[in-house]
Structure 1
Amino acid sequence: MTANSGSDGDDRVVYELQSECTVEEVDEDARYLATVNGVVEYGVFVDLSEHVSGLVHESTLSTDYAVGDRLVVTLDQIRENGDLSFSPADVDPEEATVETVEHRYEVTRSEDLVENDEVHLEGEVVQIKQTGGPTVFQLSDEAGVVPCTAFEEAGVRAYPGIEVGDVVRVSGAVELREGARQVEVGSLERLEGEAASDVRERLEAAIEECAEPHEIEPLIEWPAMEPMFEGLEEVARLIRRTVIEGRPIRMRHHADGDGMCASVPVELAIERFIDQTHEDSENSQHLLKRLPSKAPFYEMEDATRDLNYALGDRARHGQKLPLLLMLDNGSTEEDVPAYETLAHYDIPIATVDHHHPDPEAVEPLLDAHVNPYLHGEDYRITTGMLCVELARMIDPTVTEELRHVPAVAGIADRSKADAMDDYLELARQEGYDENDLREISEALDYAAHWLKYSAGRRVIADVLNVAGDEERHPARGEFLAERARRDIDEQLEAAMPHVERDRLENGAHLCRIDVENHAHRFTFPAPGNTTGAIHDRVVEETGDPVITIGYGPDFAVLRSDGVRLDIPTMVSELVEEIDGGGVSGGGHLVVGSIKFVKGMRKEVLDALVEKMGDAEIDEELSSTAVVPEQ
């Protein structure tokens, strides 16, 4: 309240200024509680707040005062030089009714900070990092996130009572550090009660508005994809909100061509949005991690590693726990154990995928889920196609760099969707012919194999020609694609003589290969790609429906052309039918992988072949994805 806001009729009312109050909040006709801070021959100096001090002349005093004594005063005069003079009021401070005068702040938005200005910011503390010098509070307001540095002494935590999630008011001076704005803290105060509620309401309204995804026109007209746009908008909204709130993002994606066509565009869009909303570029580098996963589901190994890093970052850097963004994996029952592990820590999860889903199992654990199967579509809509549109919703400035990527994704996962013609035409308009796109796809798979658990940021950017070095891109892609074809040819030369061929009851060719013993190990191509290459060779030779099984001691990878398989259903049936088989797995309808216990391999594979023999022949159906590596 202000001095004029209340009880002028009460002779005992005295106003106490908050520490941040200035002389602008002092009225001449009001009485104020003051503290003596100095005694001189001609009077006493008093403080009304940190910024309001002045002299009570000895001619107006009827009693003696010592430093620390309290008295009630009124404002007499503001001199030309800014000095203040006060007179004592005939009120005993012990008997007065004290009402607080709150400082009237003019709050500055983080986007309006100007170097050397004295400002007041209000917002939520989203990170607290203790350096060897100052304590850095990352403050999120309506416009973005700005670092506020407070110094107690070297390496000592300033304002130890302030925690992540607190709503605070920061007063200080704006400085530039390596071209980025920051606030040198003069004072930092946690807001409580109504003041905190008002700020939270203001922040929430602004965040909701800023988090809204951009309205975009799809790159091509494709009615089959339209039902997924609402879900993609939900994911984009969640991502943008996560960035605004200063929460980190851990992005997991399948380590294959489609997975990288999905993740790299989204990574680029998120990075640009982070740059727009975060002043501290050094800190923002830790807000997004892109991490490949070898399996087409979220393995416990990866989940445990992600959780350990998240908890470590919270302890070391004061970060919130992250959003987990799953791309080209994350839709199946195999993901559930890992998801349940994160659920204990309330880590939000969003998934964009095109593997055959188990919605009843995963959706209770997901904050958002986009999958073509949920809308009556299938794997021909690849995750890369979906994620290019998602990236554009996050930041549409990435559009020009991504027009060729959906075609690469389609080739990488061998999509036979009618829309592929439109995507290929879009890529041709950008200077890519189909051979260029195929080389990019082959190079991505080759690079992914050798990168293993590394994101390979620069290499992948160059190969995919997204935010990379355009001068190096053609040579890099051609070289890796050539190496991939050479290694595949060498693998086929060794493996093809060992392929066992048979005919199923439905007339389809059955090819089986023990990739553990009859193919080169620990090199490219891995068992999954080896099986795919053998399968493609047989399809090319015969032109007939073909099923290929590449198996090892405890796994099998499956490919099919021209046979209407339903691999997820077959796996579910094997789980029920083979006691002690330890069967798990999944994938698409006609491409996938299964695991089992080593001692039950014969029983599992025999039962699998029997089910394949009962499958319906469909000459128009062909495989559309590279099988997951084992």
Structure 2
Amino acid sequence: MTTDDDSGEGGPPVVYDLDPDCTVEDVSEGNYYRATVNGVVDYGVFVDVSESVSGLAHESTYEGSYAVGDDLVVELTEIRENGDLSFDPVDVDDYETEPVGHDYDVADAGELGDEIGATVHLEGEVVQIKQTGGPTIFHVSDETGVVPCAAFEEAGVRAYPEVEIDDVIRITGDVEERDNALQVEVDALDVLAGDEAEAVRGRLTEALEARAEPHDVEPLVEWPALAQLLPDLESVARQLRRTVLESRPIRVRHHADGDGMCASIPVQLALEKFIEQTHHDPEAKRHLFKRLPSKAPFYEMEDVTRDLNFALEDQARHGQKLPMLLMLDNGSTAEDVPAYENLAHYDIPIVVVDHHHPDPEAVEPYVDAHVNPYLYDEDYRITTGMMCVELARMIWPPITEELRHVPAVAGLCDRSKADAMTDYVELAESEGYEESFLRDVGEALDYEAHWLKYDAGRNLINDVLNVGSDDEQRHRELVEFLAETARSEVDDQLDAAMPHVEHERLESDAHLYRVDVENHAHRFTFPAPGKTTGEIHDRKVQETGDPVITIGYGPDFAVLRSDGVRLDIPEMVSELDEEVVGGGVSGGGHLVVGSIKFVPGMREEVLDTLVEKMADAELDEELQSTVVGHEQDD
């Protein structure tokens, strides 16, 4: 700001102490300034009043002598047309000092494309600090985006070691292009404090809240059951967008099946598009988003231990914040709680979007958001893929055209019998996807998920689902090949297993089929025990046309399928754990599909008790043919 001349009027004179970043625009003729001698010549001394404001005090204006480094008070007597400044040393003993800050023309981090080669000022929050073999890279976030700023002390040495993540800073530097990305080469960096810092934080917070707002999009189909979940999905979209703007990484854990991938792939594409828009660093997508499949339909301790270890390593190595955990198509049950308790020791928010039967009292103390149709008296017919397509569109609407077929694939993968399935299939057909081909896409997704195991298989899965892919012919040919191969391998598996299926008729008149998938099916190949059981179940449902329950079991596990029988598998699991002492029973799933684990020595007692409970279950024609046949558990 420009200083006004009020020295000597009505009190002691005012001597201005300029901020180092002050320019000639911040000074006025006739004012007194604190100065430092920076050079001595025959005809006078040169003085600095800031890092960029200097001038000459002619020898005729003072008596005695000065040396480099001497401090003195000077009066600015003239600002010449050529920009030179003239000063006179003054002798004042009793004066008031008034600090002067620079009125910065602050640039926007997101608008630096036209500033290459120019010197700019930035104000923002430090969201990441990465030490390289050369400079220190400070990632600075303001109202418009995030930009990397490189400060060099010496090779591999931390520049500005006093700066920490979440500090509000002011940077002066030159905008340069490095590897086709913008970067600011730091000339000066100051940590702001007090009112200055609070003013910047307030400005950033207000802008961040506005930019985090999700887009208002019309659902792909009109469906009241899903519509009541949209406010919860909007809240999650807002939290995800804000997380990106804060440069906090997002780690997605999803069930490794068709619905899980139909949920996670659209969200991944939407968030990566948003990251590209808001971050200049071309590596930001890789650092800020990772999708990780989970073989079990819950968050296992093995998975959380890996995730936490990688997160802490990234924090130490790359200066990242700890991530947000986004659980898709899993995360709603008591089985997830031990993993959540592990994360509770760290600053890791948890958000869940799922359609498995939940244990809200167990889960919700640990999660920041929980979206589940059961919380609205709906059920698994609203699949996670259906919900997440709407979530992705709220984050980044332009991807809508790529996603119109995905809810139908998700519903067919999980055998949803919701009334809205007709609308979803018709929507996909309008985009050129016939229903038989949509089923093939689901089969191909399950097949690839089996062989990928813990690998996300990003590019391959994108080609199979035709999201984020650019080769329609390859997509068609790939799906047809994978689906045909999967069906052939299912047939081979069932040729071996079907002769060993045991049958009995329950008192309710439902059919009960049992098969030892450990000893009477091929191991370590496709299909896994869960899908093998589901395929056997589907054949028996088609063969009998009656209510059917199928149990596929091994030494310490059982996979359960029900059709036309009103089971509550999560409740049965809870009862088994209490009634079979020493059984070590755990598990869960939907009302009519699930899996349980137990100790091998108690298998017979666990299965016998389970069958007794199933025999008491009521038949329900409304549940006929609504089994979620593709839920798998290895």
Is 1:97 the counterpart of 2:101? The answer is no
Residue 521 of structure 1 is matched in structure 2 by: 523
Deviation at 1:549, TM superposition (A): 0.4
- Per-residue CA deviation, residues 219-266 of structure 1 (Å, 9 max, x unaligned), is 000011111001100110010000011111101100000000000000
1:525 corresponds to which letter in structure 2? P
Structure 2 vs 1, CA of residues 6 and 211 (structure 1 numbering), >3 Å: closer, same or farther?
farther
Residue 626 of structure 1 is matched in structure 2 by: 630
Instruction: Indicate the SS of the match to 1:454.
Output: coil
C-alpha distance in structure 2 between counterparts of 1:206 and 1:441, whole Å: 41
Aligned-residue sequence identity (percent) comes to 71
**TM-score (normalised: structure 2):** 0.97
Is 1:542 the counterpart of 2:541? The answer is no
Structure 2 vs 1, CA of residues 445 and 6 (structure 1 numbering), >3 Å: closer, same or farther?
farther
Query: Which of 500, 524, 531 lines up with 2:533 in the alignment?
Result: 531
C-alpha distance in structure 2 between counterparts of 1:346 and 1:74, whole Å: 54
Residue 340 of structure 1 is matched in structure 2 by: 341
Deviation at 1:156, TM superposition (A): 1.7
Residue 453 of structure 2 is matched in structure 1 by: 452
Deviation at 1:12, TM superposition (A): 4.1
Two-structure CA RMSD over aligned residues (Å)? 1.2
C-alpha distance in structure 2 between counterparts of 1:515 and 1:370, whole Å: 34
Structure 1 residue ranges without an equivalent (≥5): none
C-alpha distance in structure 2 between counterparts of 1:246 and 1:213, whole Å: 17
1:301-312 matches, within 5 Å, as 301-312=302-313
Is 1:56 the counterpart of 2:33? The answer is no
1:391-470 matches, within 5 Å, as 391-468=392-469, 469-470=471-472
1:76-91 matches, within 5 Å, as 76-91=77-92
Deviation at 1:470, TM superposition (A): 2.1
Instruction: Indicate the SS of the match to 1:620.
Output: helix
Residue 123 of structure 1 is matched in structure 2 by: 124
Deviation at 1:583, TM superposition (A): 0.8
1:132-211 matches, within 5 Å, as 132-211=133-212
C-alpha distance in structure 1 between counterparts of 2:222 and 2:447, whole Å: 32
- Per-residue CA deviation, residues 434-464 of structure 1 (Å, 9 max, x unaligned), is 1110110000000000000000011101110
**TM-score (normalised: structure 1):** 0.98
What count of residue pairs does the alignment treat as equivalent? 628
Residue 4 of structure 2 is matched in structure 1 by: 4
Is 1:610 the counterpart of 2:612? The answer is yes
Do 1:250 and 1:324's aligned partners in 2 also have CA atoms closer than 8 Å? yes
Residue 46 of structure 2 is matched in structure 1 by: 45
Instruction: Indicate the SS of the match to 2:224.
Output: coil
Q: Which moved more, 1:140-149 or 1:82-91?
A: 82-91
1:520 corresponds to which letter in structure 2? H
Do 1:211 and 1:240's aligned partners in 2 also have CA atoms closer than 8 Å? yes
C-alpha distance in structure 2 between counterparts of 1:324 and 1:163, whole Å: 24
Deviation at 1:81, TM superposition (A): 2.7
Query: Which of 485, 491, 494 lines up with 1:492 in the alignment?
Result: 494
2:104 corresponds to which letter in structure 1? Y
Q: Which moved more, 1:76-85 or 1:449-458?
A: 76-85
Query: Which of 538, 557, 579 lines up with 1:577 in the alignment?
Result: 579
C-alpha distance in structure 2 between counterparts of 1:381 and 1:627, whole Å: 14
Is 1:557 the counterpart of 2:587? The answer is no
Do 1:557 and 1:627's aligned partners in 2 also have CA atoms closer than 8 Å? no
Do 1:593 and 1:627's aligned partners in 2 also have CA atoms closer than 8 Å? no
- Per-residue CA deviation, residues 362-382 of structure 1 (Å, 9 max, x unaligned), is 111111110000001000000
1:100 corresponds to which letter in structure 2? P
Do 2:583 and 2:606's aligned partners in 1 also have CA atoms closer than 8 Å? yes
Deviation at 1:107, TM superposition (A): 1.0
Deviation at 1:309, TM superposition (A): 0.6
Do 1:44 and 1:55's aligned partners in 2 also have CA atoms closer than 8 Å? yes
C-alpha distance in structure 1 between counterparts of 2:292 and 2:430, whole Å: 31
- Per-residue CA deviation, residues 549-580 of structure 1 (Å, 9 max, x unaligned), is 01111111100000010001111111121211
1:104 corresponds to which letter in structure 2? D
Do 1:412 and 1:442's aligned partners in 2 also have CA atoms closer than 8 Å? yes
C-alpha distance in structure 2 between counterparts of 1:65 and 1:511, whole Å: 102
1:103 corresponds to which letter in structure 2? H
Structure 2 vs 1, CA of residues 337 and 5 (structure 1 numbering), >3 Å: closer, same or farther?
farther
Do 1:331 and 1:351's aligned partners in 2 also have CA atoms closer than 8 Å? yes
Do 1:254 and 1:292's aligned partners in 2 also have CA atoms closer than 8 Å? yes
C-alpha distance in structure 2 between counterparts of 1:247 and 1:627, whole Å: 32
Do 2:534 and 2:629's aligned partners in 1 also have CA atoms closer than 8 Å? no
- Per-residue CA deviation, residues 469-498 of structure 1 (Å, 9 max, x unaligned), is 323101111111111001100000000011
Do 2:275 and 2:284's aligned partners in 1 also have CA atoms closer than 8 Å? no
